Chains A and B, each alone.
Chain A
Amino acid sequence: MSQNDLANLDFGHVIAPAAAYLVASLMFIIGLKRLSSPRTARSGNLIAAVGMALALAGTFLLPNTGHFGLIVIAIVIGAIPGWLLAKRVKMTAMPQMVSLFNGMGGACALFISLGEWLKAPDDGQAFPKLLGIVLGSISFTGSLVAFGKLQGLISEKSVRWPMQKAINAVLLLGILASAFAAATDPSHSILWTALLAAFALLLGVLQVLPIGGADMPVVISVLNSCTGLAAAVTGFAMHNMSMIIAGTLVGAAGSLLTLLMCKAMNRSLLKVIFGSFGAGAKKSAAAAADSTQTMREIAASESAIMMGYARKVIIVPGYGLAVAQGQHLVHELDQLLEKRGVEVKYAIHPVAGRMPGHMNVLLAEADVPYPKLLDMEEINPEFEQADVALIIGANDVVNPAARSNAGSPIYGMPILNADKAKNVIVIKRGRGTGFAGIENGLFYNPNTRMLFGDAKQALQELITELRAL
């Protein structure tokens, strides 16, 4: 800090915002810390939110801030739909909502970097500004594609086209070249910058489009840390401490979270991003289609008898249950069974639903008592004593191919040993393959019965039949 700077330290415009940023940064760190433990998570989120409000308040105190009216109008225009979307979205649609908000953050970083670049292309901050444009663009379009896939607007399947990797490599080269040109050729700076943004926006689309729906949580997590990094580099360009700290925290925590998620799903990050999932899945699906095995169907009435007279039933909920909004019905079924003296437990795979932890949220919403939800490690030894394993809209997480078939794309993924139960009843919409597009041998096992139908409707029938018993 030079003498000159010290002389400029007036309280309202310098010290107060700096103090606000410092406290806000601490609140972000404490918030993240508390978010990583179930007991404190909710307060952690609140603390981080208060930190955000503080950082924003500090920003208004910065010198030479004008356009107050416009700023407030823009905040209101953004905050209202943000609030409404977040309040109204169904719990099942959470993952894509996170992705959508993430994309908004990316777009924000993109426009800031563009603005800062146009304002002063030659202030020695070219690198962070151009990097902010690239990262913001990729986050923006990548997140929108991920949103589209999970929302069902774009095909969830792994979309493939010729020379994918080559095209992406060319785009990457294009990004490097146009960034270099923008930095060294000031006379056409706007043209090069537009080209740079266009390349990066396109790369975001093309990079995410080929990735199958099952891997979307990992992709969203990667894009989340990408936006964090975009916020950090934008902070560099603007010399803003709160942006550097908060952005970097998210970038780093998000990267670790991505790795943890990959571990929980037994997926390699490189494979998710550069993909070999789709190709492998097609092969194994074709192989299974050749087989002459058949699925055995069961009626709701018979299923009800089987469960009603069982001693122990383990319910394996999957995403299909959540889509059908059947959580409350499962809880009702559970209560009916318990009334008959049947022991009921839930087996929760770490990635049941669409994201790690998603299913716990959904069942908690339906008031299923927490102690009945058991993790994979806890429940797996219990399947052998279970009379019935009721699988509702789950597929890949109970696919024995993960244990036995080294050629399967999910080989090595830890699964729920539902096939060890004496009887397995599978509620499934149709005969097709699951989210990851992989054939499931469990459905052809001698002790497996299929109850075809929409999860909600099938559960309703089960409940009616159980009541009649």
Chain B
Amino acid sequence: MIIGTLAMVYIFILAIFTGVEVISRVPTVLHTPLMSGANAIHGIVLVGGVILLGSAGDNDVLIGFGFIAVIFGALNVVGGFVVTDRMLEMFKAKTPDKTGGEK
């Protein structure tokens, strides 16, 4: 492993400050989409699932756990980003006042 524990702790702390800083000025209107977007980003666990399954070798238990983890992770990632996009889609049609047109 080329990443030492100390380096990981550094990164952890810097990421905390970054996370707080980047969203500190969010307006109330965007609370829900932002939560949903953040929800999709923690879908990064999918990467962990892929690593677990990819390195499971012929251990059936690990293959099983990895397989389940990847399914759940993919659900989180895909569902999360798509749902967020659908929410934000609503915000764009602000200025051009669409006339009529039921979907």
Docked pose: A248 CA to B89 CA in angstroms: 27
Docked pose: A230 CA to B45 CA in angstroms: 9
A97 touches B83 (CB 8 A): yes
- Which residue, A5, A115, A350, has most C-beta atoms of chain B within 10 A? A115
- The smallest beta-carbon distance between A149 and chain B, in angstroms, is 17
A232 touches B87 (CB 8 A): no
Taking CB atoms, residues of chain B closer than 8 Å to A14 are 2
Taking CB atoms, residues of chain B closer than 8 Å to A240 are 47-48, 51
Docked pose: A408 CA to B95 CA in angstroms: 41
Q: Is A437 interfacial (CB 8 A cutoff)?
A: no
B32 touches A94 (CB 8 A): yes
Q: Which of B70, B78, B83 contacts A74 (CB 8 A)?
A: B70
- The smallest beta-carbon distance between B23 and chain A, in angstroms, is 5
The residue of chain B having its C-beta at the shortest distance from the C-beta of A249 within the complex is B19
Q: Is A279 interfacial (CB 8 A cutoff)?
A: no
Taking CB atoms, residues of chain B closer than 8 Å to A230 are 42, 45
B40 touches A52 (CB 8 A): yes
Q: Is A301 interfacial (CB 8 A cutoff)?
A: no
- The smallest beta-carbon distance between A337 and chain B, in angstroms, is 17
Docked pose: A114 CA to B59 CA in angstroms: 14
B78 touches A86 (CB 8 A): yes
Contacts A42-B89, A227-B42, A357-B29 given; does A71 touch B50 at CB 8 Å: yes
Taking CB atoms, residues of chain A closer than 8 Å to B25 are 36-37
Q: Is A82 interfacial (CB 8 A cutoff)?
A: yes
Q: Is A303 interfacial (CB 8 A cutoff)?
A: no
A38 touches B23 (CB 8 A): no
Task: Mark interface residues in A141-179 (1 if CB within 8 Å of B CB, else 0).
Answer: 000000000000000000000000000000000000000
Q: Which of B3, B19, B33 contacts A250 (CB 8 A)?
A: B19
Q: Is A186 interfacial (CB 8 A cutoff)?
A: no
Instruction: Name the segment of A254-262, A306-314, A379-387, A442-450 touching the other chain.
Output: A254-262
Taking CB atoms, residues of chain B closer than 8 Å to A242 are 44, 47
Docked pose: A439 CA to B82 CA in angstroms: 38
Taking CB atoms, residues of chain B closer than 8 Å to A187 are none
Contacts A75-B70, A220-B35 given; does A246 touch B42 at CB 8 Å: yes
Taking CB atoms, residues of chain B closer than 8 Å to A367 are 93, 97-98
Docked pose: A409 CA to B23 CA in angstroms: 30
B8 touches A239 (CB 8 A): yes
Contacts A239-B3, A254-B35, A355-B35 given; does A35 touch B30 at CB 8 Å: yes
Taking CB atoms, residues of chain A closer than 8 Å to B15 are 232, 244-245, 248-249, 252
Q: Which of B19, B53, B76, B77 contacts A70 (CB 8 A)?
A: B53
A79 touches B32 (CB 8 A): no
Taking CB atoms, residues of chain B closer than 8 Å to A253 are 19-20, 22-23, 34, 38
The residue of chain B having its C-beta at the shortest distance from the C-beta of A362 within the complex is B90
Taking CB atoms, residues of chain A closer than 8 Å to B50 are 56, 59-60, 65, 71
A256 touches B24 (CB 8 A): yes
B41 touches A221 (CB 8 A): no
A77 touches B51 (CB 8 A): no
A95 touches B32 (CB 8 A): yes
Taking CB atoms, residues of chain A closer than 8 Å to B51 are 59, 62, 65, 238, 240
Contacts A67-B56, A82-B79 given; does A260 touch B38 at CB 8 Å: no
Q: Is A343 interfacial (CB 8 A cutoff)?
A: no
Binding site for A on B (CB under 8 A): 1-3, 5, 8, 11-12, 15-20, 22-57, 59, 61-63, 65-95, 97-98, 102
14 contacts between A and B (CB under 8 A): A35-B84, A36-B34, A56-B47, A75-B74, A76-B74, A101-B79, A101-B83, A104-B79, A108-B76, A220-B35, A230-B42, A257-B23, A260-B26, A375-B28
